[in-house]
Amino acid sequence: MDEILTASGLCKTFNLSRKQQRIERTNARQKVAVDNLSFTAYRGEIFGLLGPNGAGKTTTLRMLSTLIRPDGGNAIVDGQSIVNEPEKVRAKIAFLTSELKLEDFFTPNYLFDFFSQLHGVDSAVAAERKAQLFSRFGIDKFAEVKVANLSTGMKQKVSIVISLVHDPDIIIFDEPTNGLDVLTARVVTDFLRELRSKGKTIILSTHIFSLVEQLCDRVGVIIDGRMVACGSLADVCNGLTLEDRFFELYKEVKGNEE
Amino acid sequence: MKSNILTIIKKEFNRVFYDRQLLFTTVILPGLIIYFVYSLMGDAANKMAQSDREENVAVQVENLPQSVAEAFKTLGDNVSVTEGAFTKPEIDALNDKSVNRLLVRFPVQFDSLVNVYEPAQGLLAPNVEIYYNSTNTATQRIYSMVCGALNNYENSISNRFDINRADSKEMRFNQADDEKVSGMILSKILPILILMMLFSGVMPIAQTSIAGEKERGTIATLLITPMRREELALGKILAISGIALLSALSSFIGIVLSMPKLIAANGGGELSFSYSTTDMAILLLVIISSVFIMTAAISLLSTLAKDVRNAGTLALPVMFGILFVCLISMFQNSVSNSLLYDIIPFYNSVTVLTALFQHELHLMNAAVCIAANIAYTLVSVWVLTKMFNNEKVMFSK
Tell me the CB-side half-sphere exposure of residue B299, using CA atoms within 13 A.
31
Residue A160 lies in a domain: no
Angstrom distance (rounded) from CA B295 to CA B380: 10
Nearest to B225 among A69, A106, A118 (CB): A118
The predicted-structure confidence for A28-61, as pLDDT tens digits, reads as follows 888 889 999 999 999 999 999 999 988 999 999 9
The predicted-structure confidence for A82-109, as pLDDT tens digits, reads as follows 999 999 999 999 999 988 899 999 999 9
Residue A140 lies in a domain: no
Which has the higher per-residue pLDDT, B41 or B10?
Answer: B10
Per-residue pLDDT, B36: 86
The stretch B115-138 carries a mean pLDDT of 87
A245 touches chain B (CB under 8 A): no
Residue A173 lies in a domain: yes
The predicted-structure confidence for B341-352, as pLDDT tens digits, reads as follows 888 889 999 889
With bands split at pLDDT 50, 70 and 90, how would you rate the model's confidence at A79? very high
Angstrom distance (rounded) from CA A223 to CA A69: 21
Residue A162 lies in a domain: no
With bands split at pLDDT 50, 70 and 90, how would you rate the model's confidence at B366? very high
Residue A133 lies in a domain: no
Residue A144 lies in a domain: no
Q: Is A56 within 8 Å of A225 (Cβ atoms)?
A: yes
Angstrom distance (rounded) from CA B223 to CA A66: 9
CATH number at residue A12: 3.40.50.300
Provide the ipTM: 0.90
CA distance, residue A142 to nearest chain B CA (Å): 18
Tell which of B221, B223, B229, B232 to mutate to test the A interface (max A CBs under 10 Å).
B221
Nearest 5°: phi and psi at B146? -65, -45
B-chain residue closest to A14, CA distance: B392
B307 touches chain A (CB under 8 A): no
CA distance, residue A155 to nearest chain B CA (Å): 13
E strand or H helix at A202, and its extent? strand A201-206
- Assess whether pLDDT exceeds 70 at residue B178: no
The predicted-structure confidence for B102-124, as pLDDT tens digits, reads as follows 999 999 988 888 888 888 888 88
Angstrom distance (rounded) from CA A17 to CA B258: 54
Nearest to B228 among A87, A114, A119 (CB): A87
**Bridge partner list, B328:** none
Contact B217 A99 (CB under 8 A): yes
CA distance, residue B7 to nearest chain A CA (Å): 7
The stretch A216-243 carries a mean pLDDT of 91
A80 touches chain B (CB under 8 A): no
B11 touches chain A (CB under 8 A): yes
The predicted-structure confidence for A147-172, as pLDDT tens digits, reads as follows 999 998 899 899 999 999 999 999 99
Per-residue pLDDT, A195: 94
Number of domains in chain A: 1
The pLDDT > 90 percentage for chain B reads 31
Residue A129 lies in a domain: no
Per-residue pLDDT, A176: 87
- Assess whether pLDDT exceeds 80 at residue B226: yes
- Assess whether pLDDT exceeds 90 at residue B74: no
A105 touches chain B (CB under 8 A): yes
Contact B225 A90 (CB under 8 A): yes
Cβ-based contacts of B221 with chain A (< 8 Å): 100-102
Total residue count of chain A as it appears in this document: 258
Residue A132 lies in a domain: no
Boundaries of domain holding A180: 3-99+169-257
- Assess whether pLDDT exceeds 80 at residue A131: yes
Window B:65-104, CB contacts with A under 8 Å: none
